[in-house]
Structure 1
Amino acid sequence: MEPKILKLKHPVGSGETAITELEFKGPLKGKHMKGVPAYGSLICMEHILMVGGRLCNQPPSVMNELQAEDMQAAIAITSGFLEGGPTIGQPPSE
């Protein structure tokens, strides 16, 4: 999968150290998913942001500061790398 670049609408940080874009690089590997509990085909938002941070080589402190619209875009990009694998959502009711 080709890298995906997300230009942040709300940069994280301040001054010269501000992060203005995230580059998500694939392919998704086991190291990206290590420690992520998955229940069937379900993965929670906290963990998908963790995987996204690993794909773009950013620490949790950066991913935790993403504002809502940038976070949603990061989740959408990360989900593309997870295609055919775990997804975000509620477990199906039985």
Structure 2
Amino acid sequence: MIIEIAAEGGFGGIAAASVTKRIDLDQQGARMRQEFCDAFEPDELARLASQPCTTCADRMTYRITLTDDRQQSRIFTIREDQLPPEMLDLIDQM
């Protein structure tokens, strides 16, 4: 599976630089691969994306694209406050 993350946003009307990250889990060790697969499970991303976000003004927005072995992609748009800290840490590791 390939995980691609495009992050953009701003604060106080000042746009932050956009960031794009990509990781091919087939090229990672078993522990890291499992950690990312567990955290970026499609049903969990869909659940996070569907949660209301009342404190999301002026926060980062993450567009997370998951591409499986059959080259089928799913895209999720999630705001920074909707992501658990552990997932933000994994994004930072990418």
Common fold by TM > 0.5: no
**Of Structure 1 and Structure 2, which has the larger fraction of its residues in strand?**
2
Q: State TM-score, norm by structure 1.
A: 0.31
Q: State TM-score, norm by structure 2.
A: 0.31
